[in-house]
Each structure stands twice: as structure tokens, then as C-alpha cells.
Amino acid sequence: MPLTPEQQAQIDAARARPNQTLRAVAPGLEARLYQATPVLDHGFVRVVDYMGDDAAIVQAARVSYGAGTRKARDDAGLIRYLMRHWHSTPFEMCEIKLHVKLPIFVARQWIRHRTANVNEYSARYSVMDREFYIPAPEHLAAQAATNRQGRGEALEGEEAAEVLRLLREDAARCYEDYERMLNQTIDGRVLDPARKGLARELARMNLTQNIYTQWYWKTDLHNLFHFLRLRADPHAQHEIRVYAEAICDIVRDWVPLAWAAFEEYRLHGAQFSRTGMACLRRMLAGERVTQENSGMSPGEWREFRAALDPEGRLP
Amino acid sequence: MPLTPEQQAQIDAARARPNQTLRAVAPGLEARLYQATPVLDHGFVRVVDYMGDDAAIVQAARVSYGAGTRKARDDAGLIRYLMRHWHSTPFEMCEIKLHVKLPIFVARQWIRHRTANVNEYSARYSVMDREFYIPAPEHLAAQAATNRQGRGEALEGEEAAEVLRLLREDAARCYEDYERMLNQTIDGRVLDPARKGLARELARMNLTQNIYTQWYWKTDLHNLFHFLRLRADPHAQHEIRVYAEAICDIVRDWVPLAWAAFEEYRLHGAQFSRTGMACLRRMLAGERVTQENSGMSPGEWREFRAALDPEGRLP
Amino acid sequence: MPLTPEQQAQIDAARARPNQTLRAVAPGLEARLYQATPVLDHGFVRVVDYMGDDAAIVQAARVSYGAGTRKARDDAGLIRYLMRHWHSTPFEMCEIKLHVKLPIFVARQWIRHRTANVNEYSARYSVMDREFYIPAPEHLAAQAATNRQGRGEALEGEEAAEVLRLLREDAARCYEDYERMLNQTIDGRVLDPARKGLARELARMNLTQNIYTQWYWKTDLHNLFHFLRLRADPHAQHEIRVYAEAICDIVRDWVPLAWAAFEEYRLHGAQFSRTGMACLRRMLAGERVTQENSGMSPGEWREFRAALDPEGRLP
Amino acid sequence: MPLTPEQQAQIDAARARPNQTLRAVAPGLEARLYQATPVLDHGFVRVVDYMGDDAAIVQAARVSYGAGTRKARDDAGLIRYLMRHWHSTPFEMCEIKLHVKLPIFVARQWIRHRTANVNEYSARYSVMDREFYIPAPEHLAAQAATNRQGRGEALEGEEAAEVLRLLREDAARCYEDYERMLNQTIDGRVLDPARKGLARELARMNLTQNIYTQWYWKTDLHNLFHFLRLRADPHAQHEIRVYAEAICDIVRDWVPLAWAAFEEYRLHGAQFSRTGMACLRRMLAGERVTQENSGMSPGEWREFRAALDPEGRLP
């Protein structure tokens, strides 16, 4: 249960008070505003605020292009053009603010995207809640044999059971000892009056990295697309990808035209190297190109074939 | 007249269509939205969109501080605390998008603030309008004698008259020749069918730097305060300062608590060096400190005295 | 002549004083250091400082990948891998500082790249030099008929002659009036003691946008590649492209392995949309695909064909 | 022991190979290059590369100010002027690259400074080393009673002993279970052939946050000063402050003039609000100002007195 009853009541209250505004409004986001989409076992993503819509992208582009472009293209066509030609500044005119609850090892990956504004729950200041990420059995993946960074099949049987047990026990014990070192409970009752209690900024170091933290994270649409391109990718770690996928749904509801262009030109597009383009041209001219005569390394050839023929239909 | 009748009609139309939203609303900005504040002779600033209000700053800070801080301080006190202690991330949670019309030499200063999103009218793509900044007589300042970067008294008499004449004539002639090189008028009628017309991306180089351009400029409140601190400062060039002052009025209406804290701790505060603090302590202990025994250079001493005693009341 | 004799003497002096260092050294850049590559009629680019080399990229990547990756790949292969998979942070570990002299209308495009450090010559503080960009006749391009942002053929005959004359005359007159308004010459001699002279920060607005300015511009290799990808592109304006091309030569001498990977995967690669990939697969399966049955707009189909078959060899 | 013998040998080898360069050289940093300064129990900071020196700051400033400023001020005076007036861009012209080994809870604070380039050791890719931060007894601070974010006196006696025991045991047990889940040892020997071993990217979540990670961290001098101002501050958490202090020593050796200006105007300066300035003027005029008649809150008054009179000498 990612949300407490108190939090749900706050959300309901916020949603019960519509205001009037002269700003652009995105109906698809209004329907979602404040509501939490569950992610992993205790996490969530929810939209807390936003600015702009598809029309704001178009409007910014038309400022740049001036009178010349007016009416020359419809909005969808203009947005597709901007995406195709990497004109990023009009997409920067839209902004979104998310409230995210996520495990610390995921937060450490996420924060590497520097072009965002962040306010994170401070474990110097407050006591962390007792919530840990424990993978569902089907996501308890083995180390990939061929790829040092990847996952293999899910663990099974006794090995899986032991891993789950260790993760649960270690997280729980570390948290209990954290509380013991703090010498206080959440409601502030002191456990042992003879003790001073360790500073929170020190005690937190005893917590495992699957404990949940939360933050407000605000970014513009261009940088959000960059984030999604990297983190909704099949090579991203599952535990951050599920957040990225939840955000994809949000963006689709927010700016449907921009989302469609992003899918067309980024998520489901492909790129090729100079050597790859040369191979492609030979193939189109009827030549049989193999890894040996491609000029590519085996790894690169494998990636090239996968991009060209993901379902293995070509000869 | 900074706005065309067509633009004013668009503004009126936009203001006639209120929408419902569940987002935070800043009433002071709603009253301003889309409307242009005139700046200089043909420029303006207007708010095109915004996100967040004073409560959004408080909300972000409370995420960071967690349950510990709840109710401990009221909103105004918390915002003052954040400003005083340079906690910048909560202020980054508010965002504003402005439409600005400004001379190119001002735009060149402005763009040096890198943490903003910009869409500028493109003179590669479209023809520039025939509008130039010509200073009002009282702003036709002489070069300062003592400060290489500053302004002295206003020019007068024949010198002032000649400067105004030169500025007007050169801008006008360059613009006429720009049109002549383009071989077209604004409405697209070709002047001379025997000519091809120079590319717009080249012809624009013939324009003087007081021609007006325009852009959408979007930034967060923390970075906007940084901009205002530098550009609403008395040492900033008058022609950018008037834009900064117009934006100050906007921010006051948008986030009145944050604005009050900004005035208190930034705009009207002062800072002192280690040497300055030592002098201050000696003065408070009753010692008579002069430039000679201050350990400061004459210039630094002058700045120190001006900060301490702007009206020259101290002995 | 972009450099004054005084500047050339400073360069020669700087090059005559080698120092010892324990840092990584890039021999190809040492050979170039401080020396100016002429660009356009009065501009230049020169390297003033740098940090890192190909080995620094590899070293940073190996910190990330830890012991696991050691010896698994040679340096060139690792750098190609990083470039192919958009691992940008190792390229950020190299830094370069350039001194550039360039026309103001080019500087205005260039500065839009925000992830760089800039110190520009200040026309508030100092008097601008009397140097303007006047295009060579072969670059005096007409406005493209089909593309609002592009160039057509060069102007010819009387039209070309008149354009050159107007550009020269307007720049010269505006500069003379600038000097007249300042009431001083470069060496500080006052022309007319009865005049105060207009403040430099105001007088500069009278200058045309082909006047040369100069700046120190410092950026990391990842962001430099991004700049080069956009500005060394055939669609970039000629006047900035020649600077980008001069920088390409510098990068090739600095980090030859990274440069080769950049050429392979960025400069001479291509990317396709989801629809483009579907068309490609149909073509490889032997189907005849035309614009009509491609699912693309005419413009997009034209771009698709140009990427696939730049020399028009395919049926 | 922060460095392995293998690492020390690499450092000695790197220091044994001086190269010639035409770049600016900072002798104080050359003497330090590659060598590790120990921080905390297993951490370190070392300079891996740098660009620029005090003269580079001056040079960049003189580009901005042009001929006007030449010789007008000596270098130290110019650098002091730049620092005093918040002219940040010349300081951005210097760059430094550090290799840092630090506990993860410190890394999480550090990474919040976004204007830097980072390559961190990847626990997705490689196995983490078995090294944890355990505070020295004198840094085992109690939670402050008055300040939710601060530290009080050190814990003592049995409470201290138990905290140290818990920190050690929990870190050790979590690491052992991490290894057990991975089913491999550092040298790659598989422990139990019947097991697949959990993916590294998952197993890492079981580690406590005092485990050491390492990264290359590169930033410019302006942003480094900002980092140091916040993190070398007495209010910063001890465990990051010791890193900041080690970096302060590095900066002092690198750019001694800039460092002196930073100490004078930032580290040991003070700033006052509008209300604080009003109080100051009243005090200088001989009035007795107390919290009650100051217009400040008790907390703000306490800060004001502490800035003015850190040693409690004034009446």
C-alpha cells in the first residue's frame, strides 16, 4: 500500500477544489492530478503540477519561426517536424512536477539526470519510514552470463527463497538497529531515557539501499523525453524502467501529439553508423552481407541485425 | 506602441476563456496573464504561463524536512528561513514563462543567464520588424569619468540632439538597405523581379543592434531571483534594469511571501568581507576606523561605507 | 589578417616556454596550442588550454565499470562502444578552452549552446574594433525558394555588387557614427573637448551585427560533440559551419579515437523513425516501397530517401 | 588504508613520467598530482587532472574588459575585485578533476551539486569492495536537542560501544549476504555450482549506506567554490565537511590568489538582511539594540549576533 489513509484523504481534498485559471489546461493530466500510480511494492508516481500542453510547444515554435510558418503546417505535423529534426527548445516550454516514492538504489540512478529540480526527503532531519523494496519472485533475476550488466532468468526454488529471506531479514534487522541507535520511535517517545540517541544524519548509514525515499522531481518535457528514452529502454534496470513506464503513460495523457512523435522518432526508431549505412545500401542493392564482410565487430553486427530484423524474418 | 491591434485581440480572446484546473493558482498572476507591461519605447514583458505559488515552495520544503517540520513554522517564516539559509531547491519548484520584446543588445546580456529555456524569433526564417530602441533624452547618458563601465550625466543640447539623430538615421538606413537586399516587403510583394534577393540569414547582419527581437523565456523562481539580483541592481545597465524591474512587479504579484523574503535578504541586504567584519567589530567597540587603518583599498572602503551608511549619516 | 602583430608576438612567446607537467598530454594539441586558425575574413579559432585525451575517456569509463572491464576491450573498441551506446559521461571528462573571434550574428547562434563557459569582450567596458564580416562573393547566397530557412544560388552581377556595397557602407557609416558619439579614438584622445561623449554601453547599439567580437569559450568534449553535430551539419548556416569545421580539425588532433567514433556513429550515421524502419524491412524483403505506400509525408519521404541513397543509385 | 599497493604503484608510475606542455602549469598541484589525501577511515581525495591557474582567471577577465583594463590592476587586485562583485565567469575558466572514494550516504549529498561531471563505480557492472565507514568514537554524535538537523555531544560509554558494534555487525552481515546472493567471490570463483547467483544490479540493494563507492568528479572553479562554501561550512555534516576541507587544501595550492579572495569574501565574510543592516546602523549610531526592538525573530537575532560577535565580546 503505497499511500497512507491520511495521504489519500489529502489527495481527495485537493481534487475536490477546482480553481479557475486562464492558463492552458491539459485535460488528460487534470484527470490524473495528485493521484498516485503504484510502482514496485511500495512506490508510486503522481503528478503534482504541470505547465503547458501540445499547443504550448507549437506556440513556442511559431515564435521562433515568426509569421512565416503560420498555418503552413497543422500542429501535429509541426510537432513531428520538431521532433524529427531535434529542435528541442519548444519542448522545453512544458514543465511537469512529479512526486515519486522509490528505493534508494533507484534514486541513485535517477539523480544522475542533472537537468531537473529535486527536493528529497531528508534523513538528516527526519526518521525514515520502515518500507523496503523486495522484488517479486519473477523479478529475482540471475546475473546474465554473457553481459556483465544484464539479467538472466529468474532464480528458482531454494535459491530464490533464500535470497528473499536474506533481503527481508537484513533490511528488517538494519532498520531495527537504526531505531535502536536513534533511541526514539516515530511518535517521538523515547525508548530508553538513559541514552542520548545517535544523530539521525549518522544513524541513516545503517539502512540498506532498498529502503524507500521520496522526492519532488520537476523537469521540462525535452529533458523528460531524454530520461524516458534511456530509462524506458529494455536495457535499463527493471526497477527504474517501471517508473519510466508509469511516466510514459502520464506523458501520453498530457501531450498526446508530442508523445506520438516521441514514439515514432525516438522510442521505436533506430540509428545506424556509417558502416551500418554502407551495409544497408549493399543489402538493398541485393548483396548478401554477413558479419565477416560487414566491417563490424560481432557485437556490433548483432546489434545491427537486431535493429533491422527484431523478429528474425529476413534471410 | 508595443502591441499590434491583432496581438491585443489575441490577448483579449485568451483572457476571455477561463478554464477549470485542480492545480495551484496564483490570483495575482491570473490578473496579469497574457497582458503586456510596456518597457522602453517598443518593448514589453508579459506572463504567458506559470506553475506553482508560495504554497508550492512550502510544500517542497516540507517534503525535504518530513514530518519533523510540520506546523513548526508558518509559511512566511519557513520561506524566510529558506531564503536566509540559501536553500534554493524549494524555490526551483516554481516556474514562469515570459514573452519579452527587447532590443538585441539587451538580449545579448540577458542570454548570458544559461539556466533558462528560450525560443527566440528567428531572423534566418522570418523578416525582422522595423522597430528600434531610441533612448529617451533623459537616458542618453555620457560615459562615466571614473568608472569604465558606468554612465555619467545625461548629454545635453546639440550633442544630445546629434546622437539621437545618428541613432535614428543609421537604424533607418540599415533597415531600408536590409529590405532592399531582401528584395521583398513584409507582405511578400517582390520589389524588383530581376533580383533574387539575399538570403535572410545573411541580410540580417546589416541591422543595428537596437532593433527589437522577441522571445519566450522560461525559468524557475530560484534562477529568476538570481537574474533579478544582478539585473535589478543599480549597477546593471538601465536598458536591462527596466525589464528586471517590470519582472519584479510580476514576481511580487505571483509569490508575495517569497518576494518579501527576497527583498529582505537579497535586494536590500548587504555582505561584508572578513576585513569588513573586523572593521565593523572595531567600530562597534567604539574605535574610529578610517580607510588608512581599515586594511582595505580605497575602492573597497568606498563600497564598505556605502553599504553601511548609504545616506552619509554616520560620523 | 585576423591577428595583430602584437597578438602574434604573444603567441610566439607563449609557445617558446614549455613547462613540465605530470598531467596527460595530447601531442596533437600541443602542436596547435595558442596558434590561430583563420575563419571567415577576420575571424579565428585557437586552442588556449585543454584537459585530458583519449586515455582520459577510457580511464573514466573503467572507473565506472570497475575491475570487470579491465583488458576486456582495447581503448579504441571501448570508445566506440561508449559512443554507440550514448554513454556520455566519460567524454565529459575532457575539456577544451578556445579563443574565438566571430561576427556578432554568429555569436548569437553559438551562445544558444548553454553548457559552456564564456567570457566575451565587453562593449560596455571597451571600445569595439573596426572589423566587419563581409561575405566572399561565392557565399553571397540568395534566399532559397523552397526552404524558408535555406540558401539558394549565389547572387551575381549587379545585384551582388550592390549587396556588397551596402553591407560595407552601412557597417562603415555606423562605426564612424559610433566613434563620433563616443567622442574618442582608440588611443583615448578626445576628439571634441566640448562634448561629453555617449556611454559606451549605449553607443554600441549603433553597430551592425556583422561587427566582430571575441570570447573565450570552454566546454567539455561531450557537449562539444553535440555542438559540432548541429553546427558542422550541412543545414547549419555557412558562417557558423566554418567555425565548426575548424573545431573538427582541432578535435581530430586532440582525441583521434573519440573523433573517429564520432564520425562513425554521429556525423556520418543516420537514424530512422518507426515508419522508416518498417519501410526498410519491406524493402529488404523485396517489396517496392513508394512515398504513396510508405506512410510518410512527401517531405519525410524525401529525407528518408536522401539518408538511404544520397547518390541516387537505388532503383 | 585507502589505497591498495597496486594503486600506489600506479600513482608512483604516473608521477615518474613528466611530460612537456605549453599549457599553463600550477606548480602547487603538480606536487600533489595523483597522490591521495586520506579522508575518513577508508576514503580519499586526489587530483587526477586540472586546467588553468590564477593567471587563467585574469586572462579571461581581461578578454572581457578588453584593452581598457590592461595594467590598471595587478592580478591579485583583479581577482579580489571579481570575487567581491560576483563576476563568476572568469573562475569558470579553471577546471579540476578529482578521484574520490567516499561512503554512499556522503555521495548522495555530494551529487546534489548538479554542475559537475561524474563517473561513478557501477555496482550494476562490478562487485562492490568490502569497506565501510565506521565513525571514530569522537564523531559518534548524539542528535542535537535544539536543532533537528544537528549533532550534539559525542555518545559515551555503553551506548557508544553498542552503536559501533551495531554499525559494524550490520554492515558485515549485509555484505556477507550480498556475496552469498551473488554466489561468487571477488576473484570470480563460484561458491556453489548449484546456484545461478543473483544479478549484481539487484544484490547491491542489500548493502548498507556506509559502504564506500568511488568516482571521478570534475567541475570548474566557480562551481567548486560554491560547493566548498556550502560543504566546508560548520553546518555541513561532518562526514562531507572533511572532504570539503581536503579540497580546500588542494585549491589553496592550485590557485592561491583565488583562494585568498574566496576566504576573504566568502568563507569568512558575512551577510546581513535589510533589518540586520538597519540594526547595525542603529548600533553604530550608539543605540542599544536588543532582540525585542530589533524586528528579528529570536532565531534570526541569534544568527545576527553570532555573525557580528562570534566571541561574545560586545556588550
Query: If you average pLDDT over residues D279-296, what whole number do you get?
Result: 95
CATH fit for domain B1-133+213-269, picks 3.40.50.720, 3.30.1360.170, 1.10.510.10, 3.40.470.10: 3.30.1360.170
3-class SS of residue C151: strand
C221 is in an annotated binding site: yes
Residue B134 to chain A, least CA–CA distance (Å) = 24
Nearest C-alpha in C relative to A312 = C281
Average pLDDT of span B270-282: 96
Tell whether residue C195 is among the known ligand binding residues: no
The CATH label, of 2.40.30.20, 3.30.70.270, 3.30.1360.170, 3.40.50.300, for the domain at A1-132+212-269 is 3.30.1360.170
A84 known member of a binding site: no
pLDDT at D187: 59
A73 part of the active site: no
Residue at grid coordinates 544524519: A201
Segments of chain D assigned to CATH 3.30.1360.170:
5-133+210-267
Residue A190 has pLDDT above 80, yes or no: no
pLDDT at A73: 67
Strand partners, C46: C99
Q: Half-sphere exposure of C91 toward its Cβ, with a 13 Å CA cutoff?
A: 27
- The C-alpha cell at A263 is 514514439
Residues of D with CB under 8 A from a CB of B: 65, 68-69, 77, 80, 84, 86, 148, 230, 263-265, 267-277, 280-281, 283-285, 297, 300, 303, 307-309, 313-314
What would the pLDDT profile of D180-195 be if each residue is shown by its tens digit?
999 975 455 667 888 8
Question: How far apart (Å, rounded) are the C-alpha atoms in residues C206 and C173?
Answer: 10
To the question of whether residue D231 is assigned a binding role by annotation, the answer is yes
DSSP, collapsed to helix, strand or coil, labels residue B200 as helix
Q: What confidence score (pLDDT) does residue B68 get?
A: 46
Mark yes or no for CB contact A264/C274 under 8 Å.
Answer: yes
Alpha-carbon span D236 to D150, nearest angstrom: 9
- For chains C and D, count residue pairs whose Cβ atoms are closer than 8 Å: 157
Task: Tell me how far apart the 2 most distant CA atoms of chain A are, in Å.
Answer: 84
Instruction: Determine how many CB atoms are found less than 10 A away from the CB of residue B263.
Output: 16
Pick from D18, D68, D118: CB nearest C125? D68
Q: Is A189 annotated as a binding residue?
A: no
pLDDT band at D69 (very low <50, low <70, confident <90, very high): very low
Q: Are D191 and D185 contacting, i.e. CB atoms less than 8 angstroms apart?
A: yes
Distance from CA of B263 to the nearest CA of A (A): 24
pLDDT over 80 (residue B218) = yes
What are the φ and ψ backbone dihedral angles of C140, each rounded to 5 degrees? -85, 75
Yes or no, beta carbons of A50 and B49 under 8 Å apart? no
Amino acid at C273: S
- The three three-digit cell numbers of residue C306, written as one number: 536522401
Contacts of D107 (CB under 8 A, 6+ apart): A108, D120, D213, D215
CATH number of the C1-132+213-269 domain:
3.30.1360.170
Determine the 3-state secondary structure of C43 from DSSP.
strand
Rounded Cα distance between D177 and A167, Å, is 8
**Number of H-type helices and E-type strands within chain A:** 13, 9
Report residue A235 as a C-alpha cell: 536495457
CA distance A155 to A142: 6
Is the per-residue pLDDT at B151 higher than 90? no
D66/C117 touch (CB, cutoff 8 Å), yes or no: no
Least confident of C104-108, D59-63, D83-87, D130-134: D59-63
Closest chain C C-alpha to D213 CA, distance in angstroms:
10
CA C277 to chain centre: 32
Task: Compute the average pLDDT of residues C23-29.
Answer: 96
Looking at 3.40.50.720, 3.40.225.10, 3.30.1360.170, 3.50.50.60, the CATH number of the domain D5-133+210-267 comes to: 3.30.1360.170
pLDDT digits (tens, 9 = 90+) for D101-136: 999 999 999 999 989 999 999 999 899 999 999 999
Q: What is the DSSP string of A213-238?
A: EEEEEEEEHHHHHHHHHHHSSTTS-H
Start and end residues for every CATH 3.30.1360.170 domain found in chain C = 1-132+213-269
Cell of A109: 540512478
Give C134→chain D minimum CA distance, Å: 24
Query: By percentage, how much of chain D surpasses pLDDT 70?
Result: 93
Q: Do B274 and D268 touch (CB under 8 A)?
A: yes
Per cent of chain A over pLDDT 90 is: 79
Q: Which residue, D176, D207, D1, is CA-closest to D104?
A: D207
**In which element (H, E) is residue C279 found?**
helix C274-284
Specify the range with the lowest mean pLDDT, choosing from A108-122, D85-99, D143-157: D143-157
Residue C190 pairs with which residues in a beta bridge?
Answer: C184
Just list the catalytic residues of B: 231
C-alpha cell at C56: 582520459
Nearest CA in chain B to D84: B273
> How many Cβ atoms are within 10 Å of B112's Cβ, its own excluded?
13
Which chain B residues contact residue A119 at CB under 8 A? 60-61, 63-64, 89-90, 93
- Where do the CATH 3.30.1360.170 domains begin and end in chain B? 1-133+213-269
Contacts of A119 in chain D (CB under 8 A): none
Distance CA C272, CA C260 (A): 22
The answer to whether A225 and A241 have CB atoms below 8 angstroms apart is no
Integer Cα distance of D98 and B207 in angstroms: 47
Q: pLDDT by residue (tens digit) across D225-241?
A: 999 999 999 889 999 99
Question: How far is the C-alpha of A232 from the C-alpha of D145, rounded, in Å?
Answer: 45
Cα–Cα distance, A218 to C122 (Å, whole number): 35
Q: Provide, rounded to the nearest whole percent, the portion of chain C with pLDDT above 70.
A: 93
Written in H, E and C, the secondary structure of D140-192 is: CEEECCCCCCCEEEECCHHHHHHHHHHHHHHHHHHHHHHHHHHCECCCCCECC
